[in-house]
Amino acid sequence: MNETLFSQIQRLFERTYAQVGINLEDCIIDRARSLQLSKLAGASARELNELARTFLRHAGGQLYVGIYYSRWLIDQLERHDPRSGLSDSNIRSLIVFVEELNHALHAALQFKNGHRGIASEEFARNLELQAQVDTYLVLLLFVAFFRKTQRVSRTDRRWLRFHLFARQCPEAFRDETLRGRYLESCELAASYTRYLDTLNGLRRLEEIRQFRSLDYSAKKAHIFALMDRPEVRLLA
């Protein structure tokens, strides 16, 4: 049986970080269930992306995960499969797709490691920052796969950064908490990925594994320290 895009990306993340222990594809929910969970999530959640969402609930010592993808998003990825090439027609859909899968995977890994504060703002910001970093690296892999030299040019990186970082509009959120979360995570991820671009493959793998093990405050401190390095400013 051919692997789905979802299972391939989950396997990539698990090879990079750790086995989550479940098939996250089994956690995909339909629109009706997504609407139910959105109502339970409160008023601010109505501002979140309707194309895809990840829902988390902690009860009875268990973590419950629901991943929703809209029919429109799936149709776009089926019509413009990124495994056949990445372009303006599918990059935004792929970004949304990867980020939600990534939220679910890292939430599950953190829960396995004993982190139970899934309702905290710090937990949410940690997931958002990690997802943007990981999604950038996934996009690089997709671009490199279709280059004869397997190398990603500066033009490619600018294009990826435009779609992943520059096109975000955190200021549009009315809710102050959401606005702050997405403004900060976008700025931090954009800065950190500039540093990652200076590393070779092996060093980058070591770096992101260490980065993933940090809590949100430590991630911020690490990025702020890196921003003072001349090679990071050079690639800004």
Residue 168 to residue 146: CA distance in whole angstroms: 26
Condensed to tens digits (0 to 9), the pLDDT of residues 139-180 reads 999 999 888 677 889 999 999 999 999 988 888 888 899 999
Least confident of 66-75, 95-104, 125-134, 225-234: 225-234
Segment 209-235 mean pLDDT: 85
For 195, the enclosing helix (H) or strand (E) is helix 176-196
What pLDDT score was predicted for residue 236? 45
Segment 21-31 mean pLDDT: 95
What pLDDT score was predicted for residue 50? 85
What pLDDT score was predicted for residue 43? 66
Could you give the C-alpha distances from 44 to 48, 175, 176, in angstroms and in order?
8, 6, 9
Cβ(55)–Cβ(66) below 8 Å: yes
